[in-house]
Chain A
């Protein structure tokens, strides 16, 4: 991987010439694959995934923690990739939508989202599915109402909320949650 690919910034024009430029060695396991990277400290996990590693399943909606489309699992826990500096995650395991399931080998949530028509444009969907996987692992939601509240961090501008809740309820049922 080229160094240039990891030189990421929202607005390179803001870089101050006098500021130190140095990279930090970071070990990450991404979708089961160990990676040894040298990263500039200001690179977010989201930019690393999308621009550095070309894992573009994880989406950038707002880049400010306000939409949830960048939701991934960090050591099994759902978080917003846009608000994590990648260097802070040394030693962590990251799971993105690409790691949850693949064509021909769908994750149960992916299959349920298709079955329940739980998306229209699909932009929010990878974040919704990673978030739903995190929610199921957390085990704090048991009812439709609780699912809606605990999925509130994932906005869907197409308004597929009802069907998203249906899909999650079905998978929770399969796993004996109800």
Chain B
């Protein structure tokens, strides 16, 4: 592992002072950053341990939503009674990710800021534009089983690995940020980026900025939802394709619906125009198919991941059926009903 300085601030102002500079990394639960330090992928000169900052709470907001502290753990969040009762989609997505040990250490801020699991990003012996701008991308034309089918660029075809982020996209969460330039609030759809010409930037966070909390809006979709995750084995594996659906039915019709995909792009994949096709409609195979086609329009495999295109379409249909029926995917019994 590389050598670095270490700071352990106890308040936000001190953390931002310590976090100023080019080669600084904030450390939360460590389950991703420590790994990247060992692999020589992350090479900070200073590590700022933010785990002692007072950002661990989960609190009701004045608007009727819920504020998740950046340093609340994934376990604390998944089992929080308000999250379970009001935002079961988020709880389900969290419990679909990683393992109990990892979730016990992982924080909410760390989860949405985790880096891609692209094999070449991790392997410093291969070229990777995300790790070293301008080097090229070994995944294009290489082994691409886990890579993106939507929103790729000529520079990078990586996916974002978080399950939590897919649920947060469907819930239209907001990310609260503080930094040298003050505080700001970022809509979840604008938080993660597509790779474009700057694949080294995963998010719209500026250098030195820190996530302090994630706000969930009042509309919580407690009845008609699902998180359907498809992967190589039944547990302890990242998604090949995942689908989060948040739906509200009024009578026979869909009053509101959000669909977000994981495992297919550099960010949780949503297209409001696909959701518009379902709003006001009666749920059914035909309407679901049209929405799936709109959501996946332009999807293209890289060879090794061609299977993801039909797999995503089928998963979207199944997830919409699960949400409509109010029978969300169990994260214990992995049989898909």
Contact = CB atoms under 8 A, between A and B. Distances in A.
A61 interface: no
B73 to A, nearest CB: 9
B156 to A, nearest CB: 23
Interface in B155-210: none
Given A88-B49, A153-B99, A83 B105 contact: yes
A41 interface: yes
Contacts of A138: 75, 100
Nearest to A81: B101
Interface residues of A, number: 44
Task: Categorize the interface residue count of chain B.
Answer: 20 to 34
Contacts of B4: 19-20, 41-42
A20 B5 contact: yes
A155 B1 CA distance: 25
Given A149-B331, A153-B99, A153-B102, A83 B31 contact: yes
A153 B333 contact: no
Contact of A16 (B2, B6, B331): B2
Contacts, number: 108
A68 B101 CA distance: 8
Contact of B3 (A21, A85, A150): A21
B119 interface: no
B315 to A, nearest CB: 20
A135 B162 CA distance: 23
Interface stretch (B33-41, B286-294, B318-326): B33-41
Contacts of B102: 65, 79-80, 83, 153
Contact of B1 (A14, A79, A146, A149): A14
Contacts of B236: 152-153, 155
Nearest to A44: B34
Interface of B: 1-6, 8, 27, 30-31, 34-35, 37-38, 40, 45, 47, 49, 51, 75, 79, 98-102, 104-105, 234-236, 331-333
